[in-house]
Structures are given as structure tokens and as C-alpha cells.
Amino acid sequence: MICPFCRHDDSRVVDSRPVEEGTLIRRRRECTECGRRFTTSETSVLLIIKRSGATEPFSREKVIEGVRKACQGRPVNDDDLALLAQRVEETLRSDGQAEVEAQEVGMAILAPLRELDEVAYLRFASVYRNFASLEDFEGEIALLRAAPSKPVTPVTKQVTQPATNSVSINN
């Protein structure tokens, strides 16, 4: 790991701790040349397979971007959106796959969005699931009425992937 201060290419780890349910490792490093300290984080890369077949790393920002439009004018703040994106990532990582279809990301958004705001959920679902008629909306609303959203269940413990090939400086 190159020192971000002096560009020296060697450093030693002085502290290492798992965060976010063990899906992320933070390391405190000390440059063996200038002695300054910096932090690295290490996580397994979750790849999203797009419809074209191309892959890109999962991004919480993209989830938030996608949901934000549906939340316009609704009582949903940035913290709510950040938490939703975190839950989506946890859901996707929880089945231990290193790659998931883009479609699964949309599916993973539906449940937490519904708990957050039912109007935003309906907007998002109408686009995501291609509602084509009033009947589609009526059917979905009937489902919402029949099964009111339940309180959030705690995320169960998950086994993380051993693959660790993403290292970034975030000091």
C-alpha cells in the first residue's frame, strides 16, 4: 500500500478491525518511511451484472439515486435513504453471491422502500415492475391494504466472502 503522504510503497498495519457486520475491514497503517498514519478499508467487491452483460461494482449511491425520484415530496430524508441503501447491500450480500443481476437490486429495494414510504414504494414499483394500467395499481394497492408493512426485522448474521480485492484509502 503506497503511503498517501510520501508515496513510499511500504507500510505496516498497526490496527485492524471489522465493521458493518464484518463485511468491511478497516486497517490503520503506518508508513515505514515518514511514519505518518492512514486508514485503508477492505471489502469484497459485489458485482452487478447489467442487462447488457457488463458488470459494475455495486454502489449505494446508485441505489439512492434510483430511489430518490420516487421519494420526491415525501417525508423521506437523506439518512433514511442511506439506511435503505445499506439494507439493500446487506440483503444482496447475505446470500453469499459475489455477483448479482441488476434485477435483484431492484427486488432488494422494494421491501425496505415499502417500510419507508408506501407512496414512494408504489411509484418505484410502477416503474420497476412496468405497471401498464390502472388495474396494476389497484392490484398493488389492494396488496398493500391486505398486508400492512411490518416493523423492520433485524438483519441476520451473515457469512462474508473471503474474496478481498478492493483496497481504498479513506482517511
Residues binding Zn ion (CB under 5 A): 3, 5-6, 8, 31, 33-34
Smaller CB distance to Zn ion: residue 29 or 114?
Answer: 29
User: Minimum distance from CB of 25 to Zn ion (Å)?
Assistant: 21
Q: Which residues contact 1 (CB under 8 A, 6 or more apart)?
A: 9, 11, 29, 40, 167
Smaller CB distance to Zn ion: residue 6 or 98?
Answer: 6
**32, 12 in Cβ contact below 8 A?**
yes
User: Minimum distance from CB of 167 to Zn ion (Å)?
Assistant: 17
If we measure between CA atoms, which residue out of 131, 90, 8, 84 comes closest to residue 122? 131
Smaller CB distance to Zn ion: residue 11 or 43?
Answer: 11
SS3 category, 37: strand
Smaller CB distance to Zn ion: residue 32 or 103?
Answer: 32
User: Minimum distance from CB of 35 to Zn ion (Å)?
Assistant: 7
User: Minimum distance from CB of 3 to Zn ion (Å)?
Assistant: 3
Strand order in the sheet with 11-19: 11-19, 24-31, 37-43, 166-169
